[in-house]
Structure 1
Amino acid sequence: MIKSKITMAIVAALALGYGTAYAQSAPSDGSQQGSDQQPAPDVKNAKKLQAVTVTGSLIPQSQIETATPIITITADEMKAKGFTTVAEALQQSSFATGSVQGMQDTNSFTTGAETLSMFGLPVGFVKYLIDGRPMGNFPGLYNGSDTFNSLSGIPMDMVDHIDILPGGQSSLYGSDAIAGVINIVLKKHIDAPTIDVRYGWYKDGGGANRRISFADSFSAGKFNSLVGLQFDSTQPIWTKDRSFTKGYFQQGTSPGIPLRDTLVYVPFSYDSTISGMYLSDPNHCQNISQFWGGTTSEHNRPGHGLYCGSPDTPGAGTLTLDSKSASLYTHNTFDVNDDLQLYGDLLYNYSEKKWENGPNTTWWGTAGPSAGSSGGYFWDPTLGGGSLVDLQHSFAPEEVGGYQHIMNKQYENAYMLTLGARGTFGQSNWDYDLGFTHSDDHLRELDFQRVAAGVEGYYSSHVLGPQQGTYSGYPVFTPNYAAMWNPISQADFKSFTGYSNSFAKTWDNLLRGQLTNASLFHLPGGDAGIAMVVEGGNEGWSSTPDPRLLEDVTIDYGNGNTVTTPYFWGTSATPGAGHRSRAAATVELKLPVFSQLTADLSGRYDNYKVGNQNVGAGTYNLGLEYRPFESLLLRGRYGTAFKVPTLSDEFQLPSGYYNTVTDYLNCGRLNFTGPTLVNCPQNVSPTQYNGETYGNPALQPIKAKVWSYGVVWAPIENMSMSVDYLHWSINNEVAQLSADTLSRTEYLCDIGTIDPSTQTCKNAFDLITRGTAGKIINGVQLLGPITHIVTTKLNVANEQVNAITAHFSYGHDIGSLGRLVLGMSYSDMLKHEYQDYVIDPPVDLLRHPNYSTDFKSKGNASLTWLKGEWSATVLANRFGRSPNYAAYASDGYTAKGAAKLPGWIRWNGSVTYNPIKSLGLSLQVTNLFNKMPPVDHTYPGTTSLPYNTDNYNVYGRAMYLEANYKFGQGS
C-alpha cells in the first residue's frame, strides 16, 4: 500500500504525465516488464509489488520520497513543455545554473557535444547513468582539458523519464557524483507498434529539423523485446540569419563599424603623417568590392583613417549545428523461470555534425610566422623613411568558395551494451543482479586549416617579397602593398588550405553484482532492507591528433631568413592515451527505526589502479526521514563524495611552449615588491622561459563533504511542495598551475611566508628550474634566471557552494472543463567560493564576474490543461540575473556601466489532440514570444555576438508539428 498523503499527491501528478515531482519511482527492469512476466501468486511476490526501486537508493521501498530530493521529468512532460532533446530539457531545468560551452562556441574544443553545470559546479562533477549504469565519456576534452559526458547522443523518443538527484551521491554511485546524479531511464515496453514523425522550423530562418522514430515491443514465449529506431536531421542557423548576429553591434559603447577585413596598418613611422594610421587603397576598395556579396567598401575609423571592410563579415559563422544522427535501441529479456531472468540492452548512436567559425579563424596576417617574435610587425625602410607595418586579410566567401563548403566536421560512433541475469534465490527475500556493461565512443574530427608553408609562401611571393634581414629585432620587408587589395582565386585558396584528420576514443568495461533484501529483519517502523554491490572494470581514453598538428616546419622567407612554426597556421594539439582499472564495494541499509523515523546508511570504497599506483576513496552517507504526521516529511542527509581525476588529467602527453614570467623571487631580493615591482630591472624580470605541461598520474581524488536538509509537505490531496538547502565543501580539486602562481609561490617560500618544508613549497621548487649563474646587483646575490617551468595539474583548489531548491505541484479538477496541473521549480545560489591555490584568497564567484558568469537563480512554472482528447501546456522559464560585459571585463560592479543584466523569461507552449485512440497530433512552440536575450549596451561596436553565448541564445521562436501513430489501437 501507499503510506502517506505526500506519496498520493506525487503519484496523482505523475499519473497525468505532467509536472515535476520530488520523487519518482525508477522501477527495476523486472518491475517495468510486469506485463511480460508470469507472476507467481505467492506472498513474496505480492509483497514486492508494493515496493519500487527509487533512484537514490538500491533498496526497493514503498515510500518514493526519501532523504534525498529527487526531481523527475517524464517523456510526455518534456514534449509538452516544448523540449526537443534530452540535453535541452536538462539544460533548461532550474538546477542547471552554470554557464557551459555549447554549439554557439564554434572555436571551442567540444562544439559538437552538449552538457550542463549543476549549481555552477564543473561539468564533470555530475554522474550520468542510463538505466542506472554509468554512461561512457565523450572522447573530446571540455575546454581542451577534461573528459566529460555528452548528452547529444540520447534518442529523445526512446526515453521514459529522467531522474535528477542534486547533491553528492558517491556512497551509492561512486566517482563524479559530487554535484548530483542524472539517471536517464529508457523505455522497456510499449503497448503497440508506434511511429512518430516531427518537423520543426524557426520563425527567423535556419534550423529546420526533421525527426522520425519507430518502436515496437513483441514477445515469443519467454522472450520479450523492444526495438526502437530514431533518425534526426537538422540544418544550421547561420549568424547571418539573426539580426542580433549578422552585423556589428549598433547599441554598444562605440559605433558598430566593420572590422578591418583588408588592412595595412602603420603603428609607427618616421613620417608623422602616416604614423598610427592605416594605408588606404588608392582604388578605394574597387578591386574587392564584390566581396561579401558586393558589400565591401571603404570605411573610416576615427584617428586611424581608411580601410576596406564589409558589414556582413560576421554572418559567415553558425549558431547551431548542421547535424544528422541515427540511433538504435533494443531491450530484451528471457524468463528462464520464475526466479531467473536474462537481459540484454543495446544503445547505439551515429552522428555527423558540422559547424563554421567564419573569418575569425580564416585569415592571414603578419601576426603569424612571418613576423617571428616581433609581435606581429615588420620593418619597411622604404615607407615614410622607415615604418613598422602590420598586414591582415580576412578571406571573403568569394575567395573561399562559400563558407558552407569549408565547415569543420565531426563523426561519432558510440554504443553501450549490457548483458546480465537477475532473479531471486528460491523462496527467500534475497534478490540478485549480475550484469556486464561495455561502452565505446569513437570520434573523428576534420578541422579546416591553413597550411603554414602554403599560406606564408603565397603572401611571401605575392605581397611581402623576400625578407631583407632584420632591424632592431623586426624582420625587414618591402612589400607590394597594392597586392593586398587584389582578390585571391579559389584555386589559390585551396592550394594553401585543407583539413586535419584527428581521432579520439573512450571505452569502459564494468562487471557489477548486487544482492538485495528488502525484508532483512523487522523494526518497529517496518522491514529493514540491505543492498550490497561489488563491481570491477577498466576504462581508457586516447587522443590521436593528425600527425601534422604535432609537426613543425621551417619556412624560408629568402636570403637565409627562416622561421620554425607549427605545420598548420596558428594551430597545434596535445596527444594523450591511458587506461586504468577499478574496483568498488557498496553497502546500503534502510532502517525504519519507528513509524515516523527512517534512517538510510550507505558506504562505499573505490579503488583505482593507475600504472603501479593504487588510489582509493571511501565515502559514506547518513540520511534521515522524519514524518511527524502523514502529510509532512522532514529530511536531511550528511556524507562525502569524490571524483577521481579524469584520464586526460592523468595521461595527456607533454607539450612545450615559450613565454615570459615575472621573477618575484629575484625582484624581491632587490626589494621590488607589490607596487614597486614594475621598477624591477628589465635584465632581471620579466624573463623568458621554456614551459612544459603534461598529465599527472600521481593526482589524488577530489573530495567533498556534502549535506542537505529540507521539508516536503502535502497539505491537501494532489498538492505537494518541497524546499531543500544543499551544501558542498570541495577540496583537493585538480587545477593547472600558472607560471605566475608558481613564481609567486617560490618567492613566498623563499622569504618564509609559506613554510619551505610544506608540499606547496616543494611543488614550486621542483617545478621551476633556474640557470646556474646568478647576477650580483647592488651587492645582492640573485639566483640564476628562470629557464624552465612545468605547469602540470595538481590537487590544489578548493570550492564551497550553498544553494536552495524549491518545487511545487498541484492538480485540480475543474468539472466538465477538465483538469489543471500546476508545477513550479526554483533554484538559487546563495554562496559560491573558489580558491585556486593555497596562497590565493577564496574568490566569491557571485561577486567576481570575470571568474564566473553563472546565473544566480533559475526558475520555471508550467500549467497543463487536460480534457478528453485534448491537452495543452504553457511553460515560463526564467533565467536569473547575470553580469554584463563591463562587469565581466572589470571583474566587478564598480566600473562605468558594470551591472547585472535583468532576468530573461522565455515561454514555451504545446497543444495535443487525439482525434482517435491511435493518433496524436501536436503543435509545440519554444520561445513563444520570440524573446531575445537582454540587450547589453556595454559591449563595444566591434563585436558581432553581443551576448554571453554560454548563457543565452538568439535562436528565437521555433515551431514543431508532430504526429504519433500507434498501430492496432483502433479508434
Structure 2
Amino acid sequence: MSLKPSLLAAALAAVFLPTAHSQTTEPEGAKRLERVTVTGSNIVSLKREGANPVQVLSAADIKASGKTSLPEVLRLIAANSGNSFNEQFTGSFSAGTAGLSLRGLGQQNTLVLVNGRRVAPYATAQNMQDVFTDLNSLPLAAVRRIDVLKDGASSIYGSDAIAGVVNIVLYDDFQGTEARVGLGRSTEGTGQSERSFELRHGFGDLAREGFNLTLSFDALKRDRLDQSQVAWLRDNDFRGEPGGTLAWVATNYLGSDPTNKLGGVQGPLQLINYGDLTPGKTGTVLAYNPAAYKTLIPGAERYHGSARATWRLTEDVEAYAELLLGSSRADLIFGAPLSVSSSLRAWNDKTQSLDTISVALPKNHPNYPTSGSAVLNATLFDLGTRFKQDAVQFQRVLTGARGTTGPWDWEASFTQSSSRLRETVQNFGNRYEFERALKAGSYNFADQSLNSEAQRQALRISTLRPASAELIALDASASTELTRLPAGPLGFALGVQLRRESMDSRTSEQVLSGTELRPAINIIQGGRTVGAAFAEFNVPLLKSLSLNLAARADRYSDFGSAVSPKASLRYQPLDSLVLRANVSQGFRAPSLPEITQSTGVSYGSVIDPRDPISPTVARGVTNLTAANPNLKPERANNFNFGVVLSPDAQSQISVDYFNIRQKDLIDTETADFIIANEARLPGRVLRDEQGRIVSLTRQFKNQGTRRVSGFDIEASRSFALGGAGRLKLKTQLSRLLQFTLPPAEGEAAVNGAGSNEFGSLPAWRSSTSAVWSLGDWTSTLSWNRVGSYTQTYRPRPEIAERVRAINTVDLNVDWQLSRQLQATLTLQNFSDAKLPWDASTGSYDYSQGDPRGRFLSLKASYRF
C-alpha cells in the first residue's frame, strides 16, 4: 500500500499540531542576544527569521543523514527537484562533479556560497554552457550548517540566484579536537566500498582570549562502480519492462545495414537477433553489451582542508582569514573502444571545423567485400577500453575585517578562488595512423586477433586537457539603524562589490593537430569584470508588520547592466503565526562559454526526415556549438507567499507558494528545429555525398520564456516521552505544479511538471524523518520519496505511460559509548529498492536515484 503525497500533506496537521496533553515547556535559560546577518539579507539585526523561506540543515542533521559528502546531503532537499547532476553524469565535460538545481531550473540558476561569499566555479563548463559550483570541491568536515534560501535573491547577491541560494556556513569558533573514521560497502549485487576520515581542531576563545583558530581536514576514497558490477543492470537487458529491448549495440558491418556483417564473433561480440535490439527488424547482427564499457559512479579520491583564524583587534573590531583547499580525482571508463563509421571526423584548427575521415575500404584491403558497400561501421575492440581521469585542485582565500563604528556595523573582504583541472584519457584513436593502416590494408577489422600489438599501439593515443577558472572579488558593506519609527528601528544597509571572473578551458594538442579521431571539444577563453552596488531597507510599519526593500545594480564589462529590485512583507499578528510575501526581479548573466570566445564539439543523434536511407531512424551526428557576443541576460520575476504556524515551542508547520517567470532563456536551437528550417539557415546543416547529415552548427541565443510554480511544505514536532526518551518528527515536501516551456523555438509551451519532457521533473518529492533519543542511543529513520512522473518518450505504445516512484528508507543509529567516543551504524536504502526503468534514458534516470542498492557504513568518532 502506498501513501499518496497529497494524503500525506493533508495528514500533517494531525501529526505536527500539538494536543493539550502532549505539550511541554522547555526550560528557559539566559541567552545573549547576538547581532547577525542572515542568509538573504545584508542588514545586521537581532532577528534570525525574516520574510524569506530559508531551510536550515544543522551539523546534527547532516550527521544523522549518514551521508559522507555535500552532494549526498543536499540531494535530500525536496526542492532539489530535477536537472541536478552529480558524479553519475559521466558523459559530460565535468565528470566527477556535482551541482545543485533548485526548482529544476538547472545548476546555473542556483547560487552556491561559502560563508556568504562566492567561490570559483568548476574549471570548465558542463553541457558546454553551465558554469556551476562543484560541491565535491568543498569540505564536509568544516560545515556548521547549510542555509537553503528558496527564493530569488539577485537583489542581494546578483547573478545566478534565480531559483535560490545555498549558503554553506563553516565553523569559525570550534574548540577542541574531534576525529571520525568510516567504512562503507554496498551489500547487494554491487560491491562498491568507500573509506572516509574527518578531523576538526580548534583552539582559542574569541570572547576571553581574543582569538580562535579552527582547522578541518577530510578525506574520502571510493571504489569505481561500473554497470557490469550491478546485478540488475549488467546484462543491459530490459525486455522484462513494458516496451523494453535488449539494449546492446550493433557494430561490425558494411554500409548502413547492420545485417551485412563484417567478419564473425570476436572479442565481446555476439550474434543477436536484430529484432531484439530494434522491434520489427529481421535477421541477425553482431552486437556487444555496452554495460562492460560504462561507469555508473566514478572512483573518487578527495582531500579537503580548511583553516579559519579570527582575531579581536579591539572591543568593536575583528579580523579574519580563511583558507579552503581541495584536491580530488575521479576515475572512470570513458566508453567503448573507438568506433569508426561514415560520421568519423577530426578537427581542423585552420578552418575551425571538422574534417571528414574516409572509412571506405580500398580494394586492396583484405576485408574488401565481393559485392555491396565497402563503407565501414566497426568497433576497434583490440585498442582497448577508453579510460578517463579528472584531477581537480580547488582553493579559496578569504580575508577581511568587520566591526562597529558608532551606529554602523561594517565589513570589508577580499576573495581569491580558483579551480584547476587536468583531464587525461587513454586509448583514443590516431587519425593519421588509421588512414595509413586503412590505405595499406594492414589492419584487419573482421578478425582483430590477427593484428599485431605494434599495430594496435600505433593507433592508440592518450590526451591531456587542461582547464582553469578564477574569481577575484572585493566586497564592502555597512548597515545601521537610521532612525526609530513608532513600530521599531528603520534598518538600512548598503554596499559595493568588484569582481573579476575568468575561464581558460583548452583542448589537447592531439585535437588541435587533427590527430584525435572523434574529438569532443570544450574550448573557453575569456574573462570579464563585474561592478555592483546595493542597498536595503527594513521598515517596521507596525509592531507586527515589516517591509523590506532591496535593490542591486550590476555592471558587466561584456553585456551591460542589470538592476534587481525586491520587496518583502512579514506579518506576525500572533506569536504563533507568521505570514510572509516576496516579490522580486532577478537575472542570470550569460556564462562565459555562452558569450565569450568558445568552441564546442559534441555528439548526439537526430531523426532526419530527408535522410535518403533511414528517414525514420535516429542517426549519430556531430554538434558544433558557438558562443554569441550579443546575448542579453536572462531575466526573472519571482513571487513567494508563505504561512508559518508555530503553536508551541515543539511544533512548526510552514507552507510556501512560489512562482517564477524567466524570460530570454539562453540556449541553442534544437536539432529538430535546425533540420526543419534548413532552407533558411544556410551552412548550419552539413551533409555527406549521400545526402546524410554529418554535423549541425548551433549558436547560443536568447529564446523562450519559462514559468515555474509550486509549493513547499515543512513541518517538525518534538515529543517528550518521559522514560522512553524523546522523539522528533520532521518532513519536507515539494510540489511542482508548473514547468512550462516551449520545446523548440516557435512551438507552443508545454507543461513539463510531473514528466520528463524537460528532464525528469517529478511533481512530488519528499523527505521525512523520525529521530528517537533515549539515553546513550539516538536513532534516525528517514523515508525519501521521488514521485512517479509521466513518460513522454514513447516511440512504441507498449512503453509504460509513467515511470515508477522511488522510495528509499535509511536508518542511522548513534551509540554514545563514553563522553568522548561514539559509534554510528548507517543503512541507506536498507530495503534494497531498485530504480525504475526509464525508456528516455535506456536504463534508469541518474538524476533521480542511486544505483548502489543497500549501502552499509560504520563510523566511529572521538572527541578530545
TM-score by length of 2: 0.85
* Structure 2 residue 625 is matched with structure 1 residue 641: no
The 1:335/1:373 distance shift into structure 2, 3 A limit, reads closer
Distance in 1 (CA, whole Å) between partners of 2:611 and 2:214 is 74
Whether the 8 Å contact between 2:124 and 2:131 is mirrored in structure 1 is: yes
User: Which residue does the alignment assign to 1:888?
Assistant: 793
Letter in structure 2 aligned against 1:726? F
Distance in 1 (CA, whole Å) between partners of 2:774 and 2:311 is 39
Deviations 1:18-75 (A, max 9, x none): xxxxxxxxxxxxxxxxxxxxxxxxxxxx998254322122223344332111101112
Whether the 8 Å contact between 1:455 and 1:496 is mirrored in structure 2 is: yes
Deviations 1:593-621 (A, max 9, x none): 211111111111111112xxx61111111
User: Which residue does the alignment assign to 2:547?
Assistant: 599
Whether the 8 Å contact between 1:811 and 1:821 is mirrored in structure 2 is: yes
The 1:491/1:244 distance shift into structure 2, 3 A limit, reads farther
Distance in 1 (CA, whole Å) between partners of 2:611 and 2:730 is 62
* Structure 2 residue 566 is matched with structure 1 residue 608: no
Whether the 8 Å contact between 2:505 and 2:524 is mirrored in structure 1 is: yes
Distance in 2 (CA, whole Å) between partners of 1:453 and 1:251 is 45
User: Which residue does the alignment assign to 1:334?
Assistant: 311
* Structure 2 residue 324 is matched with structure 1 residue 347: yes
> 1:866 offset after TM fit, Å?
1.0
Letter in structure 2 aligned against 1:540? S
The 1:205/1:896 distance shift into structure 2, 3 A limit, reads closer
The 1:738/1:199 distance shift into structure 2, 3 A limit, reads closer
> 1:489 offset after TM fit, Å?
5.1
The 1:875/1:390 distance shift into structure 2, 3 A limit, reads farther
Whether the 8 Å contact between 1:168 and 1:641 is mirrored in structure 2 is: yes
Matches within 5 A, 1:655-804: 693-737=625-669, 741=673, 791-804=698-711
**% same residue:** 24
Distance in 2 (CA, whole Å) between partners of 1:246 and 1:634 is 52
> 1:144 offset after TM fit, Å?
2.0
Distance in 2 (CA, whole Å) between partners of 1:659 and 1:441 is 29
> 1:877 offset after TM fit, Å?
0.3
The 1:129/1:655 distance shift into structure 2, 3 A limit, reads closer
User: Which residue does the alignment assign to 2:112?
Assistant: 128
3-state DSSP class of the match of 2:521? coil
3-state DSSP class of the match of 2:847? coil
3-state DSSP class of the match of 1:89? helix
Distance in 1 (CA, whole Å) between partners of 2:304 and 2:53 is 32
Distance in 2 (CA, whole Å) between partners of 1:457 and 1:662 is 33
> What value does the CA root-mean-square deviation take over the aligned residues?
3.7
Matches within 5 A, 1:217-616: 217-219=202-204, 221-249=209-237, 250-252=239-241, 259=248, 263-265=252-254, 277-279=259-261, 285=265, 288=266, 291=267, 298-301=271-274, 305-306=283-284, 313-359=290-336, 362-365=338-341, 368=344, 386-389=371-374, 391-396=376-381, 399=382, 403=385, 406-425=386-405, 428-448=406-426, 449-462=428-441, 483-484=446-447, 486=449, 488=451, 490-517=453-480, 519-552=481-514, 567-610=515-558, 615-616=560-561
The 1:879/1:490 distance shift into structure 2, 3 A limit, reads farther
Distance in 2 (CA, whole Å) between partners of 1:656 and 1:317 is 21
Deviations 1:664-704 (A, max 9, x none): xxxxxxxxxxxxx9899xxxxxxxx9997532233222111
Whether the 8 Å contact between 2:151 and 2:162 is mirrored in structure 1 is: yes
Distance in 2 (CA, whole Å) between partners of 1:866 and 1:690 is 58
Distance in 2 (CA, whole Å) between partners of 1:485 and 1:690 is 27
Q: What stretches of structure 1 of length at least 5 have no aligned partner?
A: 1-12, 14-45, 269-275, 465-479, 553-566, 664-676, 681-688, 748-763, 771-787
Letter in structure 2 aligned against 1:211? S
Of the candidates 922, 931, 934, which is equivalent to residue 836 of structure 2? 934
> 1:206 offset after TM fit, Å?
3.6
The 1:212/1:377 distance shift into structure 2, 3 A limit, reads same
> 1:394 offset after TM fit, Å?
3.8
Whether the 8 Å contact between 2:718 and 2:729 is mirrored in structure 1 is: yes
The 1:193/1:255 distance shift into structure 2, 3 A limit, reads closer
Letter in structure 2 aligned against 1:640? Q
Letter in structure 1 aligned against 2:828? T
Distance in 2 (CA, whole Å) between partners of 1:173 and 1:654 is 30
3-state DSSP class of the match of 2:60? helix
Of the candidates 542, 564, 569, which is equivalent to residue 619 of structure 1? 564
> 1:882 offset after TM fit, Å?
2.5
Distance in 1 (CA, whole Å) between partners of 2:553 and 2:802 is 44
Q: Which deviates more, 153-162 or 189-198? A: 189-198
3-state DSSP class of the match of 1:66? coil
The 1:358/1:373 distance shift into structure 2, 3 A limit, reads closer
Q: What stretches of structure 2 of length at least 5 have no aligned partner?
A: 1-15, 17-29, 276-280, 347-353, 613-620, 685-694
> 1:99 offset after TM fit, Å?
2.8
> 1:867 offset after TM fit, Å?
1.9
Letter in structure 2 aligned against 1:344? A
Matches within 5 A, 1:134-145: 134-145=118-129
The 1:692/1:115 distance shift into structure 2, 3 A limit, reads closer
* Structure 2 residue 59 is matched with structure 1 residue 111: no
User: Which residue does the alignment assign to 1:49?
Assistant: 33
Letter in structure 2 aligned against 1:860? S
> 1:390 offset after TM fit, Å?
5.2
> 1:919 offset after TM fit, Å?
1.1
Distance in 2 (CA, whole Å) between partners of 1:366 and 1:696 is 30
Q: Which deviates more, 951-960 or 724-733? A: 951-960
3-state DSSP class of the match of 1:240? helix
Distance in 2 (CA, whole Å) between partners of 1:708 and 1:897 is 38
Distance in 2 (CA, whole Å) between partners of 1:860 and 1:260 is 38
> 1:135 offset after TM fit, Å?
2.2
Letter in structure 1 aligned against 2:103? F
The 1:378/1:864 distance shift into structure 2, 3 A limit, reads same
User: Which residue does the alignment assign to 1:919?
Assistant: 821
3-state DSSP class of the match of 1:157? coil
Whether the 8 Å contact between 1:690 and 1:789 is mirrored in structure 2 is: yes
3-state DSSP class of the match of 1:114? coil
Quick check: which one's helix share is greater?
Answer: 1
Of the candidates 86, 105, 111, which is equivalent to residue 102 of structure 1? 86
> 1:494 offset after TM fit, Å?
3.0
The 1:410/1:597 distance shift into structure 2, 3 A limit, reads same
The 1:831/1:317 distance shift into structure 2, 3 A limit, reads same
User: Which residue does the alignment assign to 2:769?
Assistant: 862
3-state DSSP class of the match of 1:649? helix
Distance in 2 (CA, whole Å) between partners of 1:455 and 1:628 is 77
> 1:442 offset after TM fit, Å?
0.9
Distance in 1 (CA, whole Å) between partners of 2:677 and 2:485 is 57
Letter in structure 1 aligned against 2:321? G
Q: Which deviates more, 203-212 or 802-811? A: 203-212
* Structure 2 residue 797 is matched with structure 1 residue 900: no
Distance in 1 (CA, whole Å) between partners of 2:603 and 2:787 is 42
3-state DSSP class of the match of 1:387? coil
Whether the 8 Å contact between 1:603 and 1:621 is mirrored in structure 2 is: yes
Distance in 1 (CA, whole Å) between partners of 2:402 and 2:665 is 38
User: Which residue does the alignment assign to 1:212?
Assistant: 197
Whether the 8 Å contact between 1:651 and 1:694 is mirrored in structure 2 is: no
> 1:709 offset after TM fit, Å?
0.5
Indicate the structure (1 or 2) with the bigger Cα radius of gyration. 1
